[in-house]
Chains A and B, each alone.
Chain A
Amino acid sequence: MKIAFTTTGEKLDGALESRFGRAPRFLLYDLEKETFDLIDNQQALNAPRGAGIQAADTIVRSGAKVVVTGHCGPKAFQVLRAAGISVYHSDAATVAEALSEFRSGGLSLVESADVEGHWA
Chain B
Amino acid sequence: MIVAVASGKGGTGKTTVSINLAVALGSEVQLLDCDVEEPNVSLFLSGSLDSVEVVTTKVPEVDETLCDACGECGLFCRFHAIVSLETKPLVFPELCHACGGCSLVCPRQAIREVERRIGDIETTRCGEISVVRGQLDVGVAMSPPLIRAVKARSRKDALVIVDAPPGVSCPVIAAISGADYVILVTEPTPFGLNDLALAVAMVREIKLPFGVVINRVGIGDDRVHRFCQENDIPVLLELPDDRRVAEAYSKGIAAVKALPQYRKHFQHLLDTCLETIRGSGG
Residues of B within 8 A of A47 (CB): 80
Q: Is B227 an interface residue (CB 8 A)?
A: no
Q: Is A79 an interface residue (CB 8 A)?
A: yes
Contact bitstring B71-103, A, C-beta under 8 A = 1, else 0? 000100001110101111010101100000000
Contact bitstring B105-140, A, C-beta under 8 A = 1, else 0? 000000000000000000000000000000000010
The chain A residue with its CB closest to the CB of B87 is A82
Q: Is A53 an interface residue (CB 8 A)?
A: yes
Q: Is the interface of B mostly helix, strand, loop or mixed?
A: loop
Q: A49-B141, A60-B85 are in contact. Are A120 and B94 (CB under 8 A)?
A: yes
Residues of A within 8 A of B88 (CB): 82
The answer to whether B85 and A50 have CB atoms under 8 Å apart is no
Residues of A within 8 A of B81 (CB): 50
Give bound CA distance, A82 to B87, whole Å: 7
Give bound CA distance, A61 to B86, whole Å: 10
Q: A119-B141, A120-B139, A120-B141 are in contact. Are A79 and B83 (CB under 8 A)?
A: yes
The chain B residue with its CB closest to the CB of A53 is B80
Residue from A75, A79, A119, A120 within 8 A of B85 (CB atoms): A79
Q: Shortest distance in angstroms between B204's beta carbon and chain A's nearest beta carbon? A: 23
Q: Shortest distance in angstroms between A58's beta carbon and chain B's nearest beta carbon? A: 10
Give bound CA distance, A79 to B83, whole Å: 8
The answer to whether B92 and A50 have CB atoms under 8 Å apart is yes
The answer to whether A79 and B90 have CB atoms under 8 Å apart is yes
The answer to whether A54 and B87 have CB atoms under 8 Å apart is no
Residues of B within 8 A of A54 (CB): 80
The answer to whether A57 and B87 have CB atoms under 8 Å apart is no
New contact pairs (18) apart from A79-B83, A82-B83, CB-CB < 8 Å: A47-B80, A49-B79, A50-B79, A50-B80, A50-B81, A50-B92, A53-B83, A53-B92, A53-B95, A56-B83, A57-B85, A75-B92, A79-B90, A82-B87, A82-B88, A83-B87, A119-B94, A120-B94
Which 8 residue pairs across A and B have the least CB separation, nearest first?
A: A53-B80, A50-B80, A119-B141, A60-B85, A120-B94, A82-B87, A83-B85, A50-B95
